[in-house]
Structure 1
Amino acid sequence: MTRFWGALFGQRARRRWLHLILGGALFMPYWLVGTVAVGPFSPDGNVLGGGLRFQLAAYAVGLPIAALTALFPLARPMSVAAARALCGVAPGRFADGPARGSGARARTAGWFTLHLGAGALLSGATLALPPFALAVCALPFSAELRASELGRFWHLDRPWLAWAGLPLGLLMLLGLAAVVAAAGALLAREAPRLLGPGPADRLAAAERRAAELAVRNRLARELHDSVGHALSAVTLQAGAARRVLDSGAAGADLGFVREALSAIEETTRRTVGELDAVLGLLRSGEDDGELDAPGLDALDALVRGAGPGVRLTVGGSLSGLPEAVSREAYRIVQEGLTNAVRHARGETVTARIALSGDELEITMENPLPATPPVARPDGGRGLRGIAERARLLGGTAQAGPADGTWLLAARLPVGTGGGQR
């Protein structure tokens, strides 16, 4: 019994009832246009005085006009907003944004017409039937009502028959609630089919997810390269300074210790700035935000932070490179230095950057350690990130052992990178 009353008068049923009344309110302008159209055919030129037949004719004229206006793309967001709030359907089953394509517009027009058509009838019944039903319920208690046209219409003009008006009026109210609940359930059932995503919406959603994934991958690469390099460089510099101090020699190279501490300070300050830029984009939620990432003009600071064992050679002027190429080349060198100083174990690391025609060549080389390093559980992401950065610019990157050394070689085209990010 509780379930029955909840289906008729529960919160979900009340919201769907309100949704239908909203449809009736939206239908009023179309009905008024219909009255203008059918008004000349009524006996006195006024459809309101022409009876129920002419009002239904105005209703029939207004429905196709409502369907036509629903073909505009923005009709779907309005309908989805109302249905999502009032129909009791899971929000994820609705499409987002304006209707795309003729099929989506046709489904939206079908929903809009169904909503407004059913809403107009049931909102009119909601306004007219309850007062009438209450008057029928009051027949046993009012001789004037029994003597009126209402009592004579129901043949309840006698007091002992008038008591039949009480259950009759209640049945009218229950019938109205049942019809409204059934109509609301019908709209809720049809809402996902008529307002749900179509092929064009699914394609747009897939493209959105791909773009978001690309942004997340880009930010992940930035964090990995920037923070990973900084931690490796700081660890190496701090370890070297500690070994000098622990040697206990009277002539300990305090200048080296001071230089190591300065490199640690510079590296951490630069990395904190880069980390703030990445986290700022994450907090703002802007997918197309531009990272304030360093370029090849910051190579000197990068090499100083990597330690004294790095030898960098620059061939030609790099000042005229496109911003995207300069930025990605810096990250490739940074990740290469991170791997090299981590595994070279004090050996010299040589790096060379030079322009060769319309390509920027990056080569980094360091001796292979006698004992292979312990493999990371996830296999590491640095070399994969280097390959991704080069591929995004249309270039190539390779890394691996070569004649007793570890060699990283990357080629980046400089003529097509200006527009990349």
Structure 2
Amino acid sequence: MREIARFLFGRGTRRRWIHLILGGALAMPYVFVGEIIIGPVTNTRYVFEDLLGQLLSFAVGLPLAALTAALFPLTRSLEANAVRALCGVDADRLSYAPARGRTAKERTAAWFTLHLGFGGIIAGMSLAVPPFAFVLVVLPLVAVFSDGLWGMPAAWDQPWVLALTPVVGVALLVALAACAAGAGALLARWAPALLGPTPGDRLAAAEARAADLAVRNRLARELHDSVGHALSAVTLQASAARRLLDSDPEFVREALAAIEDTTRRTVGELDAVLGVLREGDAPGTAPAPTLAADLDGLLRRTRAGGLRVEASVDADPEALPPVLSREAYRIVQEGLSNALKHAGDQVTVVLRIGIADDRLEIVLENPLGSASACRPGGGHGLRGIADRTRLLGGTVAAGAESGTWRLRVCLPLKGPA
């Protein structure tokens, strides 16, 4: 019994009743337009006073409502928000974007028609039934305290009839509540199917998620390459400076200057990346480093840590496309970072950058040191190089051969950027 009472008069049912009343209010302009059409057709002067004319006007207005929903895409957004607030439907089962495709417009039109149709019926019942039920409930009292029932049929003046009228009145109110609860439950059940995302909406959402993941992966690579290289270089520079503090003060000064320069540049790059991640914040102003802008600085900071780097650049960095120059810089940076971490500071790294067959070729070679084994949890650097190379349509090969670690990357000068 408690479940029935909750279904008929619970808080959720009352909110759905309000949703239905709103549907009835939205239906009124279409009913008025239907009256303008039905009046001349049926030769009725006062359509509002004729029950059949009102029903015909209502029937004519519903297709007009469906047409309105199909022509105005924002109808789905408005209806979805109303359903979420009043019908108790989970927000993630509804689509709040305007209806753009044919399927979405057809579903929105069907929903709007159902909402206004059920709403018009329940709103009309809500206006007519309660006053009539009240009259039936108080009818016995009127008969007791008056000489008769004015304007009522004589049969209603019978005692058994007067005894039943309150029961009928209460039954009418319960029937109204049952109709409103049933209509509200049906609309709540149909809402996800008609106002939920269509296959096109799901595809668009999947594409948006894929684009967001691509941006996040790119930012993760930027953070790994920039911060990882900086920490490796600073660690090696600080270690070399500590060892030579007493014997070579000039080298220590150079190492400290390189540490200062490396950390300053890395903080700028970190601020630029984090600025993109902070929603609502403007991106950082530090530009992404490129071969043309910072290859010499990268080599100078790496050598300041004690690592010997022999560089041969047979390509003009200024002539490279900006995207290619930026990604090539990160590849060189990650290659040098790997050498810092795994080869030790007593080896010589050979870097060659050149152009052959319309491809930019980057080769880094260094002898395998005693610390050549990968550290636990490592391996992200080579994966990042592979990701960058793949996105540019190039090829990458890395591995040990005859005691030498070799990284070779070929990037097309004109390719997918």
* Equivalent position SS for 2:379: coil
Instruction: Note closer, same or farther for the CA distance 1:289–1:304 as it changes in structure 2 (3 Å cut).
Output: closer
**Number of equivalenced pairs:** 408
Q: CA 1:62/1:12 → structure 2, altered by over 3 Å: closer, same or farther?
A: same
Does the Cα contact within 8 Å between 1:343 and 1:373 map onto a contact in 2?
Answer: yes
- Describe the superposition over 1:318-377 as per-residue Cα deviations: whole angstroms up to 9, x where unpaired: 112221111111111111111011111111112122333532221111111145424424
Q: Is the 8 A contact 1:234 1:267 kept in 2?
A: yes
SS of structure 2 residue aligned to 1:76: helix
- For residues 19-418 of structure 1, what are the structure 2 equivalents within 5 Å? 19-42=19-42, 44-49=44-49, 51-72=50-71, 73-142=73-142, 143=145, 147-149=149-151, 152=152, 155-157=155-157, 161-245=161-245, 249=246, 252-284=247-279, 292-296=287-291, 297-306=293-302, 307-309=305-307, 310-346=309-345, 347-370=347-370, 372-377=372-377, 379-416=378-415
What CA distance in whole angstroms lies between the structure 1 residues aligned with 2:17 and 2:204? 33
Q: Write the distance in 2 (CA, Å) between the matches of 1:110 and 1:211.
A: 33
Q: In the TM superposition, what is the alpha-carbon distance from 1:218 to its structure 2 partner? A: 0.8
Mapped partners of 2:389, 2:146: distance in 1: 92
TM-score, normalised via structure 1 length: 0.89
Using the TM superposition, give the Cα deviation of residue 79 of structure 1 relative to its aligned residue in structure 2, in angstroms.
Answer: 2.2
Q: Distance in 1 between matches of 2:155 and 2:79?
A: 46
Deviations 1:76-118 (A, max 9, x none): 2222222222221122222342335433322222111111111
Q: 1:155 to 1:132 in 2, by over 3 A?
A: same
Residue 42 of structure 1: how far off its partner (Å)? 4.6
| TM-score, scaled to structure 2 | 0.90
How many angstroms does 1:37 deviate by?
0.4
CA contact (8 A) 1:156 1:165 kept: no
Secondary structure, counterpart of 2:318 in structure 1: coil
CA contact (8 A) 2:273 2:284 kept: no
> Matched residues in 2 for 1:349 and 1:308: separation?
11
Letter in 2 for 1:203: L
Distance, in Å, in 1 between the alignment partners of 2:155 and 2:253 is 109
Q: Which moved more, 1:53-62 or 1:71-80?
A: 71-80
1:305 is displaced (CA, Å) by 2.4
Shift of 1:392: 0.8
What's the offset of the Cα at 1:176? 0.8
CA distance in 1, matches of 2:217, 2:154: 75
Tell me how far apart the structure 2 counterparts of residues 238 and 154 of structure 1 sit (CA, whole Å): 110
Contact 2:365/2:406 (CA < 8 Å) preserved in 1? yes
Q: Name the CA distance, whole Å, in 1 between partners of 2:9 and 2:108.
A: 28
2:110 is matched by which residue type in structure 1? G
Q: Residues 68 and 44 of structure 1: is their aligned pair in 2 closer, same or farther, counting only changes over 3 Å?
A: closer
Q: Which 5+ residue runs of structure 1 have no aligned equivalent? A: none
Contact 2:344/2:370 (8 A) holds in 1: no
CA distance in 2, matches of 1:63, 1:145: 48
Task: Provide structure 2 residue ranges, at least 5 long, that are not aligned to the other structure.
Answer: none
Q: Distance in 1 between matches of 2:372 and 2:148?
A: 104
Question: What code does the residue aligned with 1:324 have?
Answer: V
Distance 1:241 1:415 in 2: 43
